[in-house]
Structure 1
């Protein structure tokens, strides 16, 4: 039995009429939420581990995203965060959740206040993407645009026609390439800010019409920074300029990865996914 690598995929409404929003369409692939399984599979490949559960039982791992409210008893958490706009951010009682790392100290404080045992290991796992997947090794990319705007999924319609905007539903690799080749990144997408930090690209968060500031503060504090001033619009972002660079040591987050959940690829009947073997880095995760 394989370990389920959880990532949030909401269903799109078939019609925009509120009373009919219960009618849902296809699953949406928001690029930030898609990064979780990519990071985990890249790390598994570097460790020569497959996705099969070492226990032979059902296991589930939550990584990238404000997805703690989706956790179930027995789940493992590695780098996930609390969703500040959810009424019940944690639905699992103390002792029934295995927490290896969280996105930031705000998530840790909330979980600890509910009796959960949470180590002081912080970091959004998306920060590791260039360490574990060669396709995302884009540091030093030639700058092709002055500015890139990446909205949160819930803000996407507002920026649909902006000439500098990209949809958060685009392929994660395509968005990473756009970010790495930009001089300045602006957006309400948290993971646009994360990838900008990965590639050392100056960035500024944009006020969201739908998101709580909790996840942003959690992320920034987890990378050694105060919550920066949010730009009110794109012109305001240009005036404010870039936020302070991230201070992040990847080793504690890598060391906290629950590799004991996974069976060795050489022992697994399925082995590690072939699509990820091709993207292993020769230097592993160092």
Structure 2
């Protein structure tokens, strides 16, 4: 199924044949390191700014069409490191999946008021509280359908 009107591919390496020949949409995950010249970024992030290959990406970053990034830290890293314009638009497009997949229904009365989907490296992180409200944390390594059901609560 395609919710964007195009084929969706799982990219695991930049070494794949024809990977950088045409622009592509990079949308879900900490995948900036997979970007090529003229790619469109919509909700992707940078996993670790300390290990990001900044020198090899400086020219590529100037050509990207960035519509949204994962969060404020990714935005700040890109603006300060590459001196590029990054809109203040945040979020992982995977959070929209429940609205496009049939068979999944949003709870009429939400049972979870604050939800945080953790990166797999942070899966063992303890409980989180924002003000007086506990934040339910989700391990991103759970099966995708379980994650969607939790988002819908």
TM category, shorter: 0.5 to 0.7
Q: Which has the larger radius of gyration?
A: 1
Q: TM-score scaled to structure 1, two decimals?
A: 0.34
Residues 8-49 of structure 1: CA deviation (Å, up to 9, x unaligned): xxxxxxxxxxxxxxxxxxxxxxxxxxxxxx7xx22x2xxxx3
- How far did residue 99 of structure 1 move? 0.7
Task: Indicate conservation of the 8 Å contact 2:97/2:148, yes or no.
Answer: no
Distance 1:85 1:110 in 2: 7
Distance 2:105 2:35 in 1: 31
Flag the 1:88–1:121 CA change in 2: closer, same or farther, 3 A.
same
Q: Select the residue among 111, 119, 133 that pairs with 2:101.
A: 133
Alignment partner of 1:111: what SS?
A: helix
Q: Select the residue among 70, 73, 81 that pairs with 2:45.
A: 81
Unpaired runs of at least 5, structure 2: 9-20, 112-116, 125-137
1:173 matched to which residue of 2? 145
Task: Indicate conservation of the 8 Å contact 1:77/1:102, yes or no.
Answer: yes
Structure with higher RCO (Cα < 8 A, 6+ apart): 1
Flag as ranges the 4+ runs of structure 1 deviating above 3 A.
49-52, 150-157
Q: TM-score scaled to structure 2, two decimals?
A: 0.58
- Cα RMSD (Å): 3.6
Distance 1:61 1:68 in 2: 11
Task: Indicate conservation of the 8 Å contact 1:135/1:173, yes or no.
Answer: no
1:67 matched to which residue of 2? 31
Task: Indicate conservation of the 8 Å contact 1:80/1:101, yes or no.
Answer: yes
Question: Which of the pair is proportionally richer in helix?
Answer: 1
Alignment partner of 1:99: what SS?
A: strand
- How far did residue 79 of structure 1 move? 0.6
Alignment size in residue pairs: 120
2:70 matched to which residue of 1? 103
Q: 1:99-248 to 2 correspondence within 5 Å?
A: 99-113=66-80, 114-140=82-108, 153-154=120-121, 168=141, 170=143, 172-177=144-149, 179=150, 195=151, 199-200=152-153
